[in-house]
Amino acid sequence: MSRFSLNFLLARRILKDKGDRFSRPIVYLSVGGVSLGLVIMMIAIGVTSGYKQEIRNKVIAMGSHIRITHYDQNYSFEQVPINQHSDCILQLKNNPDVVEVQNFATKVGIIKTDDQVEGVVLKGVDKTFSWDFFQKNIIQGEGFSTTDTTASNSIIVSKRMADKLRLKVGDKVHTYFVQDPPRQRSFKISGIYETGLPEYDNMFALVDLRHVQKLNDWNDSLVSGVEVLTRDYDKIDEIGDYIHHHIDYDMKAETIKQIYPEIFEWIALFDMNVAVLLIITTCVCLVTMMSIFFIIVLEQTQTIGILKSLGMKTKQVVGTFILVAGDILLKGMLIGDAIALLLGFLQQKFHFIRLNPDTYYVNYVPIHFDWVQVLLLNAGVFAVCMAVLLIPAWVVSRKITPVNAVQFE
């Protein structure tokens, strides 16, 4: 019989010993403690990942990954136009990291009803606009289609704007624009959207790009800017820097992180909070495992003495009790994983836990489990716990001799 087989056999006998042992209920409590700790850690990373992904997708749906505009110091919505047919813009479509290049133009105006007035920023979009990203934000009605012949008279307003002006899908709205001469346009509401982000919901409404071009007295080639959607969000800083240095000198490329730094800095704080929570929970798991380890070793003191008197070496004794601890740890982790995944699935499916969207930007707690993160978390917890247990296992096994083991009661 090999050394590992002998250690495995002894570890199994110790775990299955159901005699009058004080350690039995402690083992069950330890498994429960490890399970609870892993549930907390799994839910923490799941909620953080889900929340970051949800907010990020909402921002990208309205503003894409990278925005290219004229390089000026005008930070209003009345921007200096750029030519959408510039060579540098056309070349972006051949970039393997770029998925879509969509045109947009903005115009500040006023929406007026019979008894209400509200400021609005019209965002003009054309057939290049990616409705797939934005569609999930439409809560009533639908988007509108654009053609090459006539401009659509549809408009999509936010839920906050619709509630404030008491508008619904199908209503006709009148917009006014303060310029020389003043102008007016009428639109029909085709859809109502809600992102939960006040930066968008308080201001923006979507219309056909050609309306904004005519209001600004631009030709069909001029737009406020272009929005770039990339294949990999994690590379937008690198891609944004590359695009910025390969477009015309009078243009600039900004990532969505640079445009809305306050949102992404707020999201980044989650990582620090989760890191602290993971450290604290891991320490609790370590204390739990060390406590049950010492209890089991003390109960098996006479067994250790007998094994040593029969010639078993200290490292073999250490290996046996490490297997015992590993078995308890793995059982607790598997139970914790199963509970966390089940809770995450139920929350994502039925949205049991709700949130105030005015405060948290979403109306429920989103959960997304990244399998790489889940595997790394489990591997990290198991490795840290087992590594820390090696020290007391080695010390205790060396201190117990056949003589004092026989005297121990």
Q: What are phi and psi of 67, to 5 degrees?
A: -120, 130
**86 and 162, same domain (yes or no):** yes
The pLDDT value given to residue 355: 87
Asked, for residue 288, whether it belongs to a domain, the answer is yes
**87 and 208, same domain (yes or no):** yes
**170 and 287, same domain (yes or no):** no
Higher-confidence residue: 30 or 66? 66
pLDDT average, residue stretch 85-90: 91
pLDDT tens sequence across 316-358 = 777 777 777 788 888 899 999 999 999 999 999 998 999 888 7
Asked, for residue 257, whether it belongs to a domain, the answer is no
Domain end call among 214, 233, 252: 233
- Core vs surface per residue 243-278: b (16+ CB within 10 A) or e: bbeebeeebbbbbbbebbeebbeebeebeeebeebb
**96 and 173, same domain (yes or no):** yes
**292 and 156, same domain (yes or no):** no
Asked, for residue 14, whether it belongs to a domain, the answer is yes
Asked, for residue 330, whether it belongs to a domain, the answer is yes
pLDDT bucket at 16, cuts 50 / 70 / 90: low
pTM, to two decimals: 0.80
**25 and 130, same domain (yes or no):** no
Asked, for residue 249, whether it belongs to a domain, the answer is no
**125 and 268, same domain (yes or no):** no
Q: Is 320 helix (H, G, I), strand (E, B) or coil?
A: helix
d(Cα 9, Cα 18) in Å, to the nearest integer? 16
Asked, for residue 66, whether it belongs to a domain, the answer is no
Give the number of residues written for the chain: 409
Residue 236 tokens read as 């937008």
d(Cα 68, Cα 253) in Å, to the nearest integer? 4
Higher-confidence residue: 311 or 259? 259
Most confident listed range (3-17, 80-94, 353-367): 80-94
**217 and 276, same domain (yes or no):** no
pLDDT average, residue stretch 296-320: 70
pLDDT average, residue stretch 284-310: 74
> Is the pLDDT at 5 greater than 80, yes or no?
no
Q: Which of 243, 203, 245 is nearest to 226 (CA)?
A: 243
pLDDT average, residue stretch 175-183: 87
Higher-confidence residue: 395 or 375? 375
**14 and 135, same domain (yes or no):** no
Asked, for residue 63, whether it belongs to a domain, the answer is no
User: Contact 199/361 with Cβ under 8 angstroms?
Assistant: no
pLDDT bucket at 178, cuts 50 / 70 / 90: confident
d(Cα 255, Cα 194) in Å, to the nearest integer? 23
**382 and 308, same domain (yes or no):** yes
Asked, for residue 253, whether it belongs to a domain, the answer is no
Domain extent, residue 352, equals 3-58+264-407
User: Contact 193/134 with Cβ under 8 angstroms?
Assistant: yes
**211 and 146, same domain (yes or no):** yes
Percent of the chain topping pLDDT 70: 85
Give the total number of structural domains in the chain.
2
**174 and 34, same domain (yes or no):** no
